[in-house]
Amino acid sequence: LILKRAKEIIHMTTRSKTAVLGATLSCVLLAGCTGATTTEQSTVGGAAVGALVGGLLGGWEWAAIGAASGAALGWVAGKAIEAQEISARDQIQDQQLYGYSTPTDSVFVNINSASSSPQTVAPGGVVDVVTDYSLAMPQGMSVAQVTATSYLMRDGEQLMEFKGKPVQKAAGGYTIKLPVNIPAEAAPGTYVMRHQVSSGTTYDTAESTFVVKKAS
């Protein structure tokens, strides 16, 4: 019952540069939610609206898309998300670290590690969703298009989707840090974050978990 998604571009200043922040609003389960536009920290209609804002930093632009089930469990607050690429290894360093060879016919993407921290968080807190991956491509190929997405799940049901826009990346290792704001209304319990990175014809997935405590 997702009714409408509106987009707008706003500008924000980062440490050293101005980056464009991509915003995506998802309206969920609202009969009156039509043509709504929002920026960070806003809600629409004062009711259950899955609205999160994607940010661009380090080459990533993210959008968070709410699902009906997400809204039902309190994942409704609109918060800005700045995805950061906090470290990178060049191809040689990455190959030395993980012991793989240069493929000859395909682009390969492999998730090396995935985590959500802290493991336990209170409503209103922040969980850092970290994905470390390797990108390998045949010699002579300078870049490949990479798409990273994280899915927030609970009891096998998808609540939110944090989708990065496709970006061009050179071969090597990358670590993406995606801070996810835990809504004050988030239902307590164990959540599963499914990390996914895709490039070429391959993709890889991994899972991490965190626990939302009861609000005190």
Partner 1 sequence: MDGSVHVAPFHISRLHCRWRILRGDGLRSMNRPALAALILMALSAADANARKACVAEVQRANESLVKIHREWPLRATGDPVVLAVQAIAAKLAERANETGNRRWRVHVLRDSKLNAFSVGDGHMFLTEGMLRFVESEAELAAVLAHEFGHHVMGHFCTREKKRGFFGTLFGSPEESNGTRRQVGSLTALVDPEKEREADRAAVAILSRAGYDPHAALALARRMSSVPGSAHFQYGQRIEALQSLLANRPLHVGDTHDSAAFRQLKNALDQESASR
- Our CB check for partner 1 shows the closer of 64 and 111 to be 111
Distance from C-alpha of 125 to C-alpha of 111, rounded to nearest angstrom:
26
Nearer to partner 1, 38 or 199 (CB): 199
How, if at all, do strands 167-169 and 56-57 pair? unpaired
* CA atoms in the 13 A half-sphere facing the CB of 88: 11
Closer of 16 and 101 to partner 1 (Cβ): 101
- Report the residue number, 26 or 110, with the smaller CB distance to partner 1: 110
Q: How far is the CB of 194 from partner 1 (least distance, A)?
A: 9
Residues that bind partner 1 (CB under 8 A): 98-106, 108-111, 136, 149, 151, 158, 196, 201-205
Minimum distance from CB of 209 to partner 1 (Å)? 16
Q: CB of residue 105 vs partner 1: minimum separation in angstroms?
A: 4
The string of DSSP letters for 39-101 reads -TT--STTS---EEE--EETTEEEEEEE-HHHHHTTTT---B---EEEEEEEHHHHHHHH--P
Give dist(CA 170, CA 117) in Å, integer: 28
Q: Which two tokens stand for residue 121?
A: 């968080």
**Smallest gap from residue 191 Cβ to partner 1 (A):** 16
CB of 56 to partner 1, least distance (A): 22
Residue 21 or 152 having the CB closest to partner 1: 152
Residues 148/65/70/124 CA torsion (nearest 10 deg)? 80
**Rounded to the nearest whole angstrom, what is the least distance from the CB of residue 98 to partner 1 in the complex?**
6
Is the Cβ–Cβ distance between 19 and 56 less than 8 Å?
Answer: yes
Nearer to partner 1, 142 or 201 (CB): 201
Q: Are 83 and 164 in contact (CB under 8 A)?
A: yes
**Core vs surface per residue 126-136: b (16+ CB within 10 A) or e:** ebbbbbbbbbb
